[in-house]
Amino acid sequence: MHHLGRGRSTDEEHGLLRRHVHLRTGSCCRSCCCRACLEVGMSSLTLVGSHASTAMSPALWTRAFEIAEVSSSYDAWEVADVADLPDVESALRVGRTDAANVTMPWKHWAATVADEAHPDVTVSGVANLLFLRSGALFAMNTDIAAVRAATAGRTFGSALLLGAGGAAHAAAFALQGRIDRLVISDVDRGAAEGLVTELDGYDGSVAVVDWSDRAVDLDSYDLVINATPIGRDGSEDQLAWGTGELAPSATVYDFVYADTRNAVESYAADRGIELIDGWTHLFHQADAMVRPLGLPERMSDALRRSIREICPAAAGINR
């Protein structure tokens, strides 16, 4: 996998272009101005996770590639057993796939398997993107980048973070320095306490509440973050925080996205509460991959258009 233009002279780049394989035809391309081959840094992307086959990302990226006229593919790789993870690492290192988006439950593994990592990964201990960079397996966390982008310029007095997995890590580290008081709740209290330990040095106070008490003082939070899978099935009767009412001025950040309106979306719409929905997060998460993977800049607009086609009601994307 070559990253054209990184530390190479024009003559060297032209030499590589004359020798590389054409991404559309599979034959040797001798043109120095082939648009598809000049612009595409990655030709094969893969989503890796225990429920990868049911995720929206492959459809989102596949349609975006079509819109942008980019000859790349995005596939799903169902990995439910830790014993299969060495196969993923091998596929990346030998080039059977150019990059892997890593989702539940392997985001911690992605951070540890990499040779090099973005500072966000080093700090959070969680990664969701792996690719070769100058021969080394490199890890990034585009969930952190997405939360930063979706909440840019915002500060919050208090926040309730529901969940303690990879998405919760991303939210906590992305909002560091912009929350005065963070409360974390998870069905596994030990996991929530573990996240607090990892947040050593966090700018602001951090506390843990039992999952059964997560709705206590619910109206005191400026921000409520659903970093759990609750609502993924589109069920109308599932609210991640359970019972209770949010403050009218609160903001909800929901990592969950689905092709039908879920309970959080209905709740926010009925009460006029600001919602940063899962589709908005998914867009920013995907957009954060474009430049690192050497994809053309027009992919950003293509990703936005793809989401609008898949889910026209995606709240944040259509604002």
Catalytic residues: 107
DSSP state letters, 6-21: SS--HHHHHHHHHHSB
Angle between helix 57-68 and 299-310 (nearest 10):
130
Residue 9 backbone dihedrals phi, psi, to 5 degrees: -75, 165
Tokens of 121: 């990964």
Q: How many helices (H) and strands (E) does the chain have?
A: 13, 12
The length of the chain is 319
**168 Cβ contact list (under 8 Å, min separation 6):** 161, 162, 184, 186, 195, 225, 227
Amino acid letter at 244? Answer: G
Half-sphere exposure (Cβ direction) of 121: Cα atoms closer than 13 Å:
21
Tokens found for residue 125: 């201990």
Main-chain phi, psi angles of 150, to 5 degrees: -75, -20
Side-by-side strand order, sheet with 223-226: 205-208, 179-185, 156-162, 223-226, 251-254, 274-276
Distance CA 216, CA 61 (A): 40
